Amino acid sequence: MDLPVITIVGTFHMRYTPDLNQEDVSDFISERRQEEIGEVVEKLKNFEPTKLAFEVVTEEEEQLNADYMQYVEGGRELKMDEVHQYGFRLASALNHEHIYAVDWMESVGNRALGDVYEWAKKEQPELYEILKVSSAESSVPDLAEHSVLDIMRALNEEEEILHKHRMYMNVARIGHRGNYVGIDWMRWWYQRNLIIYSNLCRLAQSPTDRIMLIVGGAHVHLEQFLTESGLFRVERAGELLN
Q: Is the pLDDT of residue 21 over 60?
A: no
The pLDDT, as a whole number, for residue 24 is 60
Give the confidence band of 18 by pLDDT, cuts at 50, 70, 90: very low
The pLDDT, as a whole number, for residue 143 is 84
The pLDDT, as a whole number, for residue 19 is 47
Q: What percent of the chain has pLDDT over 90?
A: 83
The pLDDT, as a whole number, for residue 98 is 98
pLDDT tens sequence across 170-185: 999 999 989 999 999 9
Give the confidence band of 160 by pLDDT, cuts at 50, 70, 90: very high
Q: Is the pLDDT of residue 37 over 90?
A: yes
Interval 195-217 mean pLDDT: 97
pLDDT tens sequence across 69-125: 999 999 888 999 999 999 999 999 999 999 999 999 998 888 999 999 999 999 999
pLDDT tens sequence across 126-141: 999 999 998 888 888 8
Using CA of residue 235, residue 86, residue 52, residue 106, what is the dihedral sign?
positive
One DSSP character per residue, the chain reads ----EEEEEEE--SS--S-S-----TTTTSHHHHHHHHHHHHHHHTT--SEEEEEEEGGGHHHHHHHHHHHHTT--PPPSSHIIIIIIHHHHHTT-S--EEEE-----SPPPHHHHHHHHHHH-HHHHHHHHHHHHT--PPPGGGS-HHHHHHHHTSHHHHHHHHHHHHHHTT-SBTTB-HHHHHHHHHHHHHHHHHHHHHHH--STT-EEEEEEEGGGGGGHHHHHHHTS-EE--HHHHH-
The pLDDT, as a whole number, for residue 15 is 65
Question: Comparing C-alpha atoms, which of 139, 166, 165, 164 is closest to residue 154?
Answer: 139
Long-range CB contacts for residues 146-150, cutoff 8 Å, separation at least 24: 147/36, 147/39, 148/33, 148/36, 148/37, 148/39, 148/40, 149/36, 149/39, 149/40, 149/43, 149/241
What's the whole-model pTM score?
0.93
Give the confidence band of 23 by pLDDT, cuts at 50, 70, 90: low
